[in-house]
Amino acid sequence: MRRLHACGRDRSMEFAPGQILKSMAGSVLLSLLMSTPSYAKVVKSAPILAPKDTGVEITIDEAHGQAEILDRISKWDSNKNGRISREEFESGMRDYVPHELSPGQLDQAWARIQGVELERRATDPSYSGNKLTDEQKQLPQPGQPIDLPTSRVKSHIPKQEGGFWQYPSPQQAYNAMVRKGKDPDIYRAKDFVSTHNEMNERGWNQVLHYESITHPECPQEKIKLSKFNGDYDGRVKGSFDRHYWTVNRCGTEEQTYVLDYFDLKKQDEITMPYSNEDIEIQVKPDPASAAAKKDTEKYKAKVGKEYSSTSDFDTMLF
C-alpha cells in the first residue's frame, strides 16, 4: 500500500496565485474528513469507492451539505472503472490537500469515508445488514410517476430453515434497479419482476442440474438454498449481473455456486432485458470453495465443459 510521508519540503510555497482557491478547498476537505462528518445522510448513490481489503464497497455520490466534496472525491477515479481504491484516494488527497499527510491522517480520513458508506447501507434495502422495516423497503422513489404493487410472490426455491424464498415486489425490484444505476422503465416494472422471478427459477434449475451430476447421492428435494448475495461489480466480462448462491446438500454439506447472467441481445450498459429468451445463465461452483476443483472436473468429464448453461439445458421443473 502506498503511503505519503513528510519530506521536509514546503509544498504550499509551490502554489501559484491561481491555485490558492484549490489550497483553501483542500484544507476544508481535510478538516471535514478529519472531523465527525456531517454528510452521513446520502440522498443518491452510485458506485464510487471500493476498499476491497475491507469488503466494504463505497458507493457515495451525493450528500446533504457536502455534495461538492464527494464530487471532488469521485474525480479521483484515475482508471475510470467507476470505483475508487485506497491508493487512488491517497493520491487524490496528496494532490488536493496543500500539505503532506501522515499515514495516520490518511487512515482516519479513509475511515470517515467508509463510515459514510456504512451509514448509507443502513438505509439500503439491497444490503443484508440494513436497518429498514419491511414497510420502509417498499417506499417509492422520489417523484415516482405511478404507484407500483408491493405484494410479493413465493418462489419454488426451498430455504434451509424451511419454507420457500420470496421474490421482491415490483416496487422493491424497481428500487434495486435504480440503485444499480440502471434505467428501468417503471411502466414495465411488473414485466421485469416476472422476468426476474423466472430467471431465478431457471438459475435454480441449473444448480440442481449441476448437483445431479456431481452429487447424485443427494435427492434434489433435499437440496436447499441457505444464502445468496450479488456481486454486481465483480461480474465477468459480458455478464450484466452475478450472484453467489450457497446450497445445503442433504443437511450435511454446503457448496457455493457462481451464477452469471448474459444479455444475448444487449442494447447498452443500462437497459435491462425484459424477456428470459434474451438471457443466458451460466452456473458453476465458486472457484474459491474447497470442493470446486473436484466438482468442476467431474462435471466437465460428464458434460464436456465446466459450467452449466441455459443455452444447453433449460427445462422448467415446476
Q: What is the pLDDT of residues 238-257, one digit of tens each?
A: 888 899 999 999 999 999 99
pLDDT tens per residue across span 164-176: 999 999 998 888 7
High-pLDDT (> 70) share of the chain, %: 68
SS3 label, residue 276? helix
Q: Are 292 and 219 in contact (CB under 8 A)?
A: no
Contacts 24+ apart (CB under 8 A), 246-250: 247/207, 247/211, 247/223, 248/160, 248/223, 248/224, 249/211, 249/215, 249/218, 249/222, 249/223, 250/217, 250/218, 250/219, 250/222, 250/223
- pLDDT at position 75: 82
Question: Does the pLDDT at position 128 exceed 70?
Answer: no
Residue 304 zone, left/alpha/beta (φ > 0; ψ -120 to 50; rest): left
Question: For position 274, what pLDDT does the model report?
Answer: 62
Render pLDDT for 71-103 as a digit per residue (tens, 0 to 9). Answer: 777 788 787 666 678 888 888 888 888 788 888
Does 124 or 167 have the greater pLDDT score? 167
Q: Measuring CA to CA, which residue among 210, 251, 224 is closest to residue 158? A: 224
- Per the CB < 8 A criterion, the answer to whether 120 and 47 are in contact is no
pLDDT for position 33: 54
> Higher model confidence: residue 215 or residue 103?
215
Most confidently predicted of 16-20, 105-109, 196-200, 300-304: 300-304
Share of the chain above pLDDT 90, in %: 33
- The pLDDT value given to residue 46: 35
In this predicted structure, the answer to whether residue 271 has a pLDDT above a threshold of 70 is no
**pLDDT greater than 60 at residue 277:** yes
User: What beta strand segments (E) does 115-203 contain?
Assistant: 154-158, 164-166
Which set of grid coordinates corresponds to residue 17? 496565485
Q: What is the predicted pLDDT for the residue at 183?
A: 77
* Contacts made by residues 124-132, CB under 8 angstroms, sequence distance 24+: 124/45, 124/179, 125/172, 125/175, 125/176, 126/175, 126/176, 126/179, 126/230, 128/229
Angle, in degrees to the nearest 10, between helices 67-74 and 86-96: 110
> Residue 197: pLDDT above 70?
yes
| Cα 248-201-305 angle, rounded to 5 deg | 75
291 CB-side CA count, 13 A = 14
Q: Mean pLDDT in the chain?
A: 75
Out of 17-21, 165-169, 172-176, 261-265, pick the least confident.
17-21
Closest C-alpha to 137, from 159, 166, 163: 166
In this predicted structure, the answer to whether residue 272 has a pLDDT above a threshold of 80 is: no
Do 213 and 299 meet the contact criterion of CB atoms below 8 Å apart?
yes
Does the CA dihedral 104-106-112-115 come out positive or negative?
Answer: negative
Above 90 in pLDDT, residue 308? yes
DSSP state of 230: E
- 64 or 74: which carries more pLDDT confidence? 74
Q: What is the model's pLDDT at position 61? A: 40
151-194: pLDDT as tens digits: 999 999 999 999 999 999 999 888 877 776 777 889 989 988 99
pLDDT at 269: 59
